Amino acid sequence: MKHTEYVYLTPMPVRIWHWLNAFGIVTLCITGINIRFPDVLNIFGTYKAAISLHNTAGVVVSVSYTLWLFYYIFVAGTLAKLYIPTISDIKTGIFRQAFFYFYKYFKGDPNPHHGTPDNKFNPMQKAAYLMIMLVLLPLVIVSGVLLMYVAPLREVIMVIGGIKTLVSIHFLIACCFCAFLFVHIYLATLGHTPLAYFKPMWDGWEKVEHAEPHGDAHSSGHHELTDDGHPVKGHASMGAA
């Protein structure tokens, strides 16, 4: 008999932010390639149209990022807990997770990390999302704003080394985003089914199946434990034959 549990993992504001942001970043990547390499890709009619769409997508991503940050800091209050790797994540967790992705996954072994609302991300996700959300996204937004307002912000641009340095920084970060997208989407398909990790990003709930029934464990005061040994919170439980 299988026991199925549903864990409410991704609140609605985060889901709305995520898909708006994903759409915005993909638009920025495509329009960015059109602007940087117009001989290779020219699909927006005019060069000016590609720039306008790029700027509009940049504003959408910047505003939604600000709301995301506000939500995680002031509403949920879980930014540090979810996104900052612990010492044990850095010492062993990242390697254990990488070993799973590179080897154990292909043997059919289970993922060593089980997401809970309080500890949603595995150590590799924490490190990658921290870098993307708290370093690269703010940097690409600031460099993008400077590029949108070159004349009024000329003095600031000179301080950071001039327009060429600014363009190079913006371009290099954009390359990181393109690389991140491929790895992110690939890793997101490595759940127990290819779409298992997409479900909580769509309706909020993650489906967790156990080989053993959990009813007895719960009634005897036991709870499922996270990697850190904490009881799992936010569960809705359903027995399934």
Residues interacting with ligand HEM, by CB under 6 A? 10, 14, 18, 21-22, 25-26, 120, 125, 129, 132-133, 137, 181, 184-185, 188, 197-198, 201
Shortest distance, position 79 Cβ to ligand HEM, whole Å: 9
Shortest distance, position 213 Cβ to ligand HEM, whole Å: 27
- Our CB check for ligand HEM shows the closer of 167 and 201 to be 201
- Our CB check for ligand HEM shows the closer of 35 and 131 to be 131
d(CA 225, CA 146): 47
- Our CB check for ligand HEM shows the closer of 110 and 162 to be 110
- Our CB check for ligand HEM shows the closer of 44 and 83 to be 83
Cα–Cα nearest to 47, from 37, 57, 61, 56: 37
- Our CB check for ligand HEM shows the closer of 26 and 153 to be 26
Q: Would the CA dihedral through 43, 47, 52, 57 be positive or negative? A: positive
Shortest distance, position 82 Cβ to ligand HEM, whole Å: 7
| Helix, strand, coil percentages for the chain (3-state, nearest 5) | 60, 10, 30
| Cα–Cα separations (whole angstroms), residue 195 to 63, 128, 179, 190, 201 | 29, 21, 21, 8, 10
Query: Is the distance from CB of 171 to CB of 182 less than 8 angstroms?
Result: no
Cα–Cα nearest to 130, from 81, 84, 78: 84
Shortest distance, position 200 Cβ to ligand HEM, whole Å: 6
Q: Which residues, other chains included, contact 64 with Cβ-Cβ below 8 Å and sequence gap of 6+? A: 17, 20, 21, 24
Place of tokens 């991140």: 180
Shortest distance, position 197 Cβ to ligand HEM, whole Å: 4
- Our CB check for ligand HEM shows the closer of 135 and 236 to be 135
Shortest distance, position 29 Cβ to ligand HEM, whole Å: 9
Look up residue 127 and give its amino acid. A
- Our CB check for ligand HEM shows the closer of 34 and 116 to be 116
Q: Which residues, other chains included, contact 55 with Cβ-Cβ below 8 Å and sequence gap of 6+? A: 148
Shortest distance, position 86 Cβ to ligand HEM, whole Å: 17
Query: Is the distance from CB of 112 to CB of 99 less than 8 angstroms?
Result: no
